[in-house]
Structure 1
Amino acid sequence: MSLLFFGKDPDSDDDHCPSAWVDETTADLVLQGWKSDDATEAQCLNFGSIPDTEAVIRIPARMVPQLRKACDAAERAANESNLR
């Protein structure tokens, strides 16, 4: 697995940064974010379960430019390798 880094939250300190990568092998987005609070998780549960292998995270809106770039790169990689 090789991760292509797209950026960290510009307003967070170095130890607590939401971040975005793309897995160059699978074209998956890999995101690091803040753990959701109980109220957010409870609202998400209205739409379905959250398995133990998944997590609800928050990514700040100010990271949209990095996420957009990561999504574009993931889409290109998926199209090039027919991962869809």
Structure 2
Amino acid sequence: MQLRFVGIIPNTPHVESPTIWLDEETGDVLIQSYKATEDEVKACQEIGSIPGHSTDVPDHETIIRLPKIMLKFLRDIEGGK
């Protein structure tokens, strides 16, 4: 796996550090960020996604909250920067 650091939340404290990396071999994005709260997960499940698709979150998946300020890093990846 060849990871490239993409960005970290600006002015991050030493103990909270949402970070984004790009797997340059697959193009996958790895994100360290805040866990969604139980209420946020329930809200996501209530809204759902596509008809007939389970709203359960499997044990090997999670829902995270990505701070708005970090969206620019995802746009940079999409733009090929």
Question: Which band: TM-score by shorter chain?
Answer: 0.7 to 0.9
Partner of 2:71: 64
Partner of 2:51: none
- TM-score w.r.t. the length of structure 2 is 0.80
Report % sequence identity. Answer: 31
Instruction: For 2:11 and 2:40, locate their aligned partners in 1 and report how far apart those are by CA, in whole Å.
Output: 22
Following superposition, the deviation at residue 12 of structure 1 comes to 2.4
1:25 is the counterpart of 2:19: no
Partner of 1:82: none
Q: Aligned with 1:69: secondary structure?
A: helix
Structure 1 unmatched ranges of 5 or more: 77-84
Instruction: For 2:78 and 2:65, locate their aligned partners in 1 and report how far apart those are by CA, in whole Å.
Output: 17
- TM-score w.r.t. the length of structure 1 is 0.78
Are the aligned partners of 1:29 and 1:71 in contact in 2 as well (CA < 8 Å)?
Answer: no
Partner of 1:81: none
How many residue pairs get aligned? The number is 74
User: Which has more helix, going by share of residues?
Assistant: 1
User: Which residue type is aligned with residue 54 of structure 1?
Assistant: E
Are the aligned partners of 1:6 and 1:21 in contact in 2 as well (CA < 8 Å)?
Answer: yes
Following superposition, the deviation at residue 39 of structure 1 comes to 0.6
Following superposition, the deviation at residue 60 of structure 1 comes to 0.6
RCO comparison, higher one (Cα < 8 Å, 6+): 1
